[in-house]
Structure 1
Amino acid sequence: MEKHFELSDSEFEQQFIICELNPEIFTHEAHLRLTWINIKKYGIEKAETNIPRQLREYIKSVGAENKYNTTLTFAAIKVVYHFMLKSDSISFQEFMIEFPRLKNNFTELMSCHYGFDIYNSEKAKMKFMEPDLLPFD
């Protein structure tokens, strides 16, 4: 089990917002959890506002500004939301058990939507690029 699970959803979100979350526990799964919490608590539109802003502040506080990727951030929000609409889970841990692809095959999921490398594209890092293969619903 990952370290971020030692925090409640509320503690995790609050520590992230005030940039006190230990960067060692902000893994890919923790990023998905942040997205899940935001969508569950605030709805998709507010999550699409909150997450990019908070993520930029957080990575700035840990000196990792060069890691921010606009396209990847919005794509992750859209993909998590897609699976949440199909989910019966009441907790993030259940959600990860229900949809392990989000954690274990995320790059493969992105390749269903994008026919180019969104991870290393300078354009994708700077602004959201719509999928060129399969649109997000």
Structure 2
Amino acid sequence: MRIKDHWQYSDEVFEETFESFRLKPGMFSHEAHLRLAYIHIKKYGARQAEQNMCNQIKGYAESLGVYDKFNKTVTIASVKAMNHFMQKSNADNFKGFIQEFPRLLTHFKEILGQHYGFNVFADQRAKREFVEPDLLPFQ
């Protein structure tokens, strides 16, 4: 596993830095996104994590002047997928968790593709509102 810059922060500081829109844009990688979801699910539960992640990622993107990047469906689906794998995990931290389920890092689009029969990443409706899976519902 390649360690990214976001690892310079503890979970608490990483969460606070992101929430206050002070995280450097280059630090918000796919891995950092998954780590943030993991932190929120552990701390607030999956349902609240969905709301937190939507609010914070949208706000973060807008703070950078990027108004078309946020995708509500991908954000909520990411939390749902993370929660699914977290229920199966024996790890007590994100590093251990992602070592158990490395496909979340390497094949995330394929994982979501099991649920969606269309390109959820590019769909304009999916960007604005949560679209339920058309292939396989989240459990």
Provide the aligned C-alpha RMSD in A. 0.7
| Correspondence for 1:92 among 87, 91, 94 | 94
Q: For 2:68, what is the secondary structure of its paired residue?
A: helix
Task: Give the aligned residue type for 2:5.
Answer: K
Deviation digits for residues 59-79 of structure 1 (CA, Å, limit 9, x no counterpart): 111122211001100100000
Q: Runs ≥4 in structure 1, deviation > 6 angstroms?
A: none
In structure 2, the partner of 1:127 is 129
Q: How does the TM-score come out when normalised to structure 1?
A: 0.97
Gaps of 5+ in 2: none
In structure 1, the partner of 2:35 is 33
Please state how far the C-alpha of 1:54 moved relative to its aligned partner. Answer: 1.1
In structure 1, distance between residues paired with 2:33 and 2:138: 19
Mapped pair 1:66 → 2:68:
yes
Counting matched residue pairs gives 137
Q: How does the TM-score come out when normalised to structure 2?
A: 0.96
Gaps of 5+ in 1: none
Please state how far the C-alpha of 1:132 moved relative to its aligned partner. Answer: 0.6
Identical residues among aligned pairs (%): 46
In structure 1, the partner of 2:8 is 6
Deviation digits for residues 37-86 of structure 1 (CA, Å, limit 9, x no counterpart): 00001111211211101111111111222110011001000000000000
